Structure 1
């Protein structure tokens, strides 16, 4: 077959039609890497990054909500450089994305043309989620995208340009190696396996691989490389798989507005001028089906994450995780690059306007946001009720203040937050000088930084925004001998005070094995839903709903054995059912004379790792029950 040279004549060339697409791609990589390094200096960690850095200070086989590869990289950078500065920690991830851009170019060149490869790389680097988040932040997506693409490159070599005999074995084992590293990066790798399987099943000439041992050997090699994830999960009740899997099956009913939010969010993250033509080439390739093998190969690898996380958003509360579809969109950039290359040949004015405008607008967005993050100028021009860029404002500026107070050199002291997001912020304030824990029902990775059963008698530096801490003296009174407020700090950006309510408290004499006792005089922060109004003179507290909940903070490694509940009825004889984490543990029969009755029950001893908050629910037969006391005693002979 004779290929027609469609390259424009030298006089008509521009930066969009380079003479040497490979060299132009390398220049693109260099320029964008320099920009990302600059942004790394200007921008502090976002919420996710600071949380991941707090996690990465301790080396583990794997971690609660992500596989370990990117956290191993973060751990290595902290220990090799002695720095936790974002400009330093992000460097490997900027380098990883440089590799991602180059592999995308070579994959697209192999499938279509060098010109298409350059434009695929260009469009990747003007897509917000890729050029900013994936390309420059300390997140699992950095290694994920590189090893995903490397695996796809090898699969394209195997499935579209078949090799026989020993050569096929070599390529398959190399695919297994890269797939294993993808599995070590993020659980999304399962979609890569499914996509390759879909391509093999839908192309008759590829089904021979179903009977060939090499693909299965590659899978075994990948699982061996990813075995730290399996070992860690086996040691921790498979909690990571349960957490991530549960997010997609959790349902609150069909919510069309969530689906719409997901679609709009994906378009925003990719930027509309990239997402809309990308959806066009995606739908067109889907419609053509397996008859166009190169297009179909890309579609098979893309459809899993794009379709799954979009459809699941119809019922699952995925929030604003619009980047979860990103590995699928990554596989559509070769198709988009071909569209751009063909457009420059057939409709050059329209294509140049699209590409030039996209680059210009993306650059403008980056300049505006980057300069605002550095100087806070937008807030001076247009007052903001809520500035989402404040997430990229760490508490590192408080480190000197805490050190001056002598809080970072205290022996037998840990730092704490009450929310996993603020756990990362607290870590940035203490800078690794103290272990950081999260005292809530959702500590995530930070449930594994310190075994609190070994911290009996320690002191605690508690930090958090006032809106989250609320009343720490009441909430933690039973866990410490004393709790005193140290100070309230502010944070500045560009000379402006932008955060005003970061509180620091010092708790002395921590204990996980405290007796938990409620007598109705406890403040609202101890109570969940369904309780009547608080009165300091009342003997007990009324249940004012079909059921009432006590949310009790307990260390998950500490067992609680005996439960005593004392209650009375003011509306005649009735029963009161008591449940512990949803499991019935006893029932009281309350007499009609209003006398108080006590229940003594033994609690189940097994709880999942990481649950620092337990629900004790009391369900009356009808209104009119007053709960006088609840006493919860720890097991004194050791943790379960």
Structure 2
């Protein structure tokens, strides 16, 4: 049980990191979701908002509260991953190693301390694998109800979970032992349960012109050869880094071993792992021929891949590689944690994602608050949804924050009172085009420029504009504030 103690210690460390680091703009945006709960949102299904709502109920509207469910659910998912390994490949003692390999990835380590839709997606994906493994081991059809509920919850987290259902269907069709479930009511009841869990998203889309489905539906296509090669290179190279190099190699070889073993022995356990990894991987590679695949998207491949690596790579060389793979991954993750918290390396923004997303927010928010007082601004506004949400989460109590962007028309938040003057904060990265806010008047250079920086290294620069609320302007809402 030593590995459980190590997992508990790692979880405590992750919770501490969650409490120390400021929220990234996207996390603050999802916190706004938690204050306006709906059956769906333009960007994603609503599970991340429910996770945040649960966390802030326990730990308050703090960075720890927003992120609380991440480390906790990853710890639970790690135990489920270990149990699934033992159910699929009993007697090999590979369960703790599967959990360790998965936790050694940067995708898991960073994902555990950042609350995004991937957080609940990975939690429910791992839980679904556990339920499928229990089904395979026991032959008890009632486990299909758990599979349906958990897979539905994964789909309620992120649309990528459709690949989980696709993998299950592939397993059912190709494995003779699994095909027998097609004639059993438990399978179909589980499917109906998954649909019922996902139904709020369908109902929300039906009431909002299918906006979310349309936004997420067209993310692929063929590109010119040079661009496709670049995107493919970015995808593969990014996965080597995000999975960490040794874990990536073991995962790829482990999945290949699973496919080979199924082909030779028609083993249902190895087919399940192959079905949950190979089709999604093929789809991501195809997507990369036409558009950039974000590095976090393939995170769903690694729970099953970690099982394959731990359970099927049993030659002495692979067994000796387990510990170095875990050690290298944890060291890389620790280095990212250290850079995010203390920034010992003075890296520029382009080389340091922690600076771009997390650096300098406290000083920047203090400067915005002071500039509001200096200008007599009744509110502060932003056109970027993440920046607006960050202002709403971090400014002192009593400040009014307005967000202007077409996406806000899908929320049920209050609209601004007309005829009030405030400040618009706009990142210089948006270019020199006119602000979205009609009639925005740029402040003079000495008053109208703020820089967010960490230890003197610039993370981002912003321009201030004087703006006034008015009827008929583009969609704008008053964002909630912590404690309000």
TM-score range, shorter chain: 0.7 to 0.9
SS of the counterpart of 2:219?
helix
Residue 345 of structure 2 aligns with which residue? 378
Q: Distance in 1 between matches of 2:302 and 2:348?
A: 36
Asked whether the 8 Å contact 2:84–2:134 carries over to 1, the reply is no
Structure 1 residues 47, 264: closer, same or farther in 2, change over 3 A? Answer: farther
Structure 1 residues 504, 452: closer, same or farther in 2, change over 3 A? Answer: farther
Which segments of 5 or more consecutive residues in structure 1 lack a partner in the other structure? 1-22, 514-553, 558-640
Asked whether the 8 Å contact 2:30–2:116 carries over to 1, the reply is yes
Q: Does residue 174 of structure 2 align to residue 202 of structure 1?
A: yes
Residue 292 of structure 1 aligns with which residue? 267
Q: CA deviation at 1:377?
A: 2.6
Structure ranking higher in helix proportion: 2
Give the alignment partner of residue 286 of structure 2, picking from 280, 300, 311.
311
Give the alignment partner of residue 102 of structure 1, picking from 60, 76, 79.
79
Give the alignment partner of residue 464 of structure 1, picking from 408, 426, 436.
426
Residue 398 of structure 1 aligns with which residue? 364
Residue 505 of structure 1 aligns with which residue? 465
Asked whether the 8 Å contact 2:39–2:200 carries over to 1, the reply is yes
Structure 1 residues 78, 431: closer, same or farther in 2, change over 3 A? Answer: farther
Asked whether the 8 Å contact 2:155–2:161 carries over to 1, the reply is yes
Residue 481 of structure 2 aligns with which residue? none
Residue 137 of structure 1 aligns with which residue? 114
Residue 215 of structure 2 aligns with which residue? 243
Give the alignment partner of residue 56 of structure 1, picking from 22, 27, 34.
34
Residue 480 of structure 2 aligns with which residue? none
Q: Distance in 1 between matches of 2:466 and 2:411?
A: 20
Q: Distance in 1 between matches of 2:28 and 2:131?
A: 34
Q: Distance in 1 between matches of 2:190 and 2:196?
A: 10
Q: Distance in 2 between matches of 1:189 and 1:415?
A: 35
Q: Distance in 2 between matches of 1:137 and 1:385?
A: 20
Structure ranking higher in strand proportion: 1
Q: Does residue 410 of structure 2 align to residue 448 of structure 1?
A: yes
SS of the counterpart of 1:200?
helix
Q: Distance in 2 between matches of 1:28 and 1:152?
A: 23
SS of the counterpart of 2:419?
coil
- Greater relative CO, 1 or 2 (CA 8 Å, sep 6+): 2
Whose radius of gyration is greater, 1 or 2?
1
Structure 1 residues 30, 456: closer, same or farther in 2, change over 3 A? Answer: same
Structure 1 residues 512, 455: closer, same or farther in 2, change over 3 A? Answer: farther
SS of the counterpart of 2:424?
strand
Report 1:329-368 matches (<5 A).
329-339=302-312, 342-343=314-315, 346-347=316-317, 351-352=319-320, 354-368=321-335
Deviations 1:88-115 (A, max 9, x none): 3212111010011000011011112462
Deviations 1:308-339 (A, max 9, x none): 11221111233xx1221221221111111124
Asked whether the 8 Å contact 1:415–1:460 carries over to 2, the reply is yes
Q: Distance in 1 between matches of 2:418 and 2:348?
A: 47
Q: Distance in 2 between matches of 1:264 and 1:497?
A: 27
SS of the counterpart of 1:322?
coil
Asked whether the 8 Å contact 1:201–1:207 carries over to 2, the reply is yes
Deviations 1:59-105 (A, max 9, x none): 222111111111122134446644232x3321211101001100001
Q: Distance in 2 between matches of 1:336 and 1:470?
A: 50
Residue 9 of structure 2 aligns with which residue? 31
TM-score between the two structures when normalised by the length of structure 2? 0.85
Structure 1 residues 156, 53: closer, same or farther in 2, change over 3 A? Answer: same
Q: Distance in 1 between matches of 2:204 and 2:85?
A: 37
SS of the counterpart of 2:461?
strand
SS of the counterpart of 2:217?
helix
Structure 1 residues 146, 457: closer, same or farther in 2, change over 3 A? Answer: same
Residue 353 of structure 2 aligns with which residue? 388
TM-score between the two structures when normalised by the length of structure 1? 0.66
State the aligned residue count. Answer: 468
SS of the counterpart of 1:230?
helix
Deviations 1:154-191 (A, max 9, x none): 2233345423xxxx2x3222222222212211112222
Give the alignment partner of residue 452 of structure 2, picking from 491, 498, 505.
491
Q: CA deviation at 1:285?
A: 1.9
Asked whether the 8 Å contact 1:277–1:336 carries over to 2, the reply is yes
Structure 1 residues 66, 143: closer, same or farther in 2, change over 3 A? Answer: same
C-alpha RMSD over aligned residues: 3.2
Structure 1 residues 385, 101: closer, same or farther in 2, change over 3 A? Answer: closer
Structure 1 residues 120, 385: closer, same or farther in 2, change over 3 A? Answer: closer
Deviations 1:383-418 (A, max 9, x none): 77653321222634333444445569x99846222x
Residue 482 of structure 2 aligns with which residue? none
Residue 188 of structure 1 aligns with which residue? 160
Q: CA deviation at 1:438?
A: 4.0
